[in-house]
Structure 1
Amino acid sequence: MASYIAASIMCADQLHIADELEKLETANIDLLHCDVMDGNYVNNLAIGPEWLMAVKKATNIPLDIHLATIDPIKYVDMFAHVKPEYISFHVEVCEDVSEVIQRIRSYNIKPAIALNPETSLDTILPYLNEIEMVLMMTVNPGFAGQIFQKNVLVKLRRLRELLKDYAHAPLIEVDGNINETTIGQMSDCLPDVFVLGTSALFHKKDSQTYFERSTRIWSHAKR
């Protein structure tokens, strides 16, 4: 099973983003995880479409946009011109999940569903054949540096078991204090995509390069 590393761009040095992107490319990062926050669904604001378009032009790393917003269709339309690889939206805010999935696909973007730690896995089961990825939050969205919520492991194990019989199973992505320790807790149900932020990749006190850090995490995930 392949494992992929996504770098959480909100954790990078925003004053030196071009340098950060160059380092991430050198580290062979697979995806740039881009949190879009509207100040309503979560109590934070982050990443506008024009800034993200500038990032897109500055790197060859595919973008993985996570909409932590209400009214996801509004934001799908707003960010579609950036042409990310994935757009994920929260099942908690949707009246018509399939409509949002179809809107994302209409732009030739891969749809993904995100769910919070306390949200039942049952809410997304009807849509697993319609999406390309499940983003399982291991912290509540909005801020970096939170404590990994171990209750998510039960959902992760169940989802991995459910997907084993799918001919075209969506990827499983995890986001929220993902590091060597928390990955070790997922050893029996490893996800496909690990979002790395301040606790692993962008750790300013760690003198290792992004390449060394991501390789260390990737190797740990493959055990």
Structure 2
Amino acid sequence: MKYQFSPSLMCMDLTKFNEQISILNSRADMYHVDIMDGHFVKNITLSPFFISQLRMMTNLPIDAHLMVEKPEDFIDMTAEAGADYISVHAETINRNAFRLIRKIKDYGAKVGIVLNPATPLDWISPYVHLIDKLTIMTVDPGFAGQPFIAEMTEKIRDAKKIRETNHYTYVIEVDGSCNEKTFRTLAEAGNDIFIIGNSGLFDLDENTEIAWDKMKNIFQQQTNTADIGHPE
């Protein structure tokens, strides 16, 4: 599997929405859309409506990251807006995880599970075999620009070991501080998908095309690999 890159669109310049999406459509592997309710995290960002507008402009997979207290209130509208992945936090679904996983699958979407830094992997052991993507937060959720939590490197290694030992098929994704300082560490630990935000992409240059090329060059230099890029 090639390393994949998922731009975090809460970090993009929304005044240049059309321009930036047009550039990213030929480069990114998927899009990461954060939906926050102001309760699970003290911030409010994008929405199912944003997904519906993005859906009209791209054929790439859209990953809806539900940082909300009650994901059951968002699954219907997020799926109907066009999300391909619906990623929910283990901290919010463990009281009814199987029902919500089934609901996501019934929409034809893929199931993502997200773990906060302090949440152990064994929280999801009853249903890990059902998921398509495991997202490991390497910062506390809710705000961009936080420092990398180094202890999460071992959690990534453990997630990879669990997958290999049990022949599971989920991909491993990291959300938080994916950039020049962490690319090598995360790749060596076993990460598959890098969510890139301000420090990893958008702050590298005002021109998104140039910023992407810089990100790609940095990643290749840090990891000594050419095995990245658009799925085409």
So what's the TM-score if we normalise by structure 2?
0.89
Structure 1 gaps, min length 5: none
Q: Distance in 2 between matches of 1:74 and 1:222?
A: 43
Identity of aligned residues (%): 32
Q: Distance in 2 between matches of 1:195 and 1:123?
A: 23
Cα displacement string for residues 12-71 of structure 1 (whole angstroms, at most 9, x for unaligned residues): 001111111012123x10011000000010000011222221111012222011000011
Q: For residue 122 of structure 1, give the secondary structure of its aligned residue in structure 2.
A: helix
Cα displacement string for residues 159-198 of structure 1 (whole angstroms, at most 9, x for unaligned residues): 1111113334200000101012212223432211000000
| CA RMSD, Structure 1 to Structure 2 (Å) | 1.7
- Say whether residues 1:11 and 2:11 are aligned partners: yes
Q: 2:30 maps to which residue?
A: 31
The amino acid that maps onto 1:61 is L
Q: How does 1:92-107 map to 2 (within 5 A)?
A: 92-94=91-93, 95-107=95-107
Q: 1:82 maps to which residue?
A: 81
- Say whether residues 1:65 and 2:64 are aligned partners: yes
The amino acid that maps onto 1:172 is I
Contact residue 38 and residue 44 of structure 1 kept, 8 A:
yes
Residues 204 and 210 of structure 1, relative CA distance in 2, 3 Å threshold: closer
Q: How many equivalent residue pairs? A: 222
Residues 83 and 164 of structure 1, relative CA distance in 2, 3 Å threshold: same
After TM superposition, the structure 1 stretch with the greater mean CA deviation from structure 2, 160-169 or 43-52, is 160-169
After TM superposition, the structure 1 stretch with the greater mean CA deviation from structure 2, 205-214 or 135-144, is 205-214
Q: Distance in 1 between matches of 2:204 and 2:62?
A: 23
After TM superposition, the structure 1 stretch with the greater mean CA deviation from structure 2, 3-12 or 157-166, is 157-166
Cα displacement string for residues 141-171 of structure 1 (whole angstroms, at most 9, x for unaligned residues): 1110000101111211111111113334200
Contact residue 51 and residue 82 of structure 2 kept, 8 A:
no
Contact residue 5 and residue 30 of structure 2 kept, 8 A:
yes
The amino acid that maps onto 2:181 is T
Q: For residue 56 of structure 2, give the secondary structure of its aligned residue in structure 1.
A: helix
Q: Distance in 1 between matches of 2:96 and 2:39?
A: 19
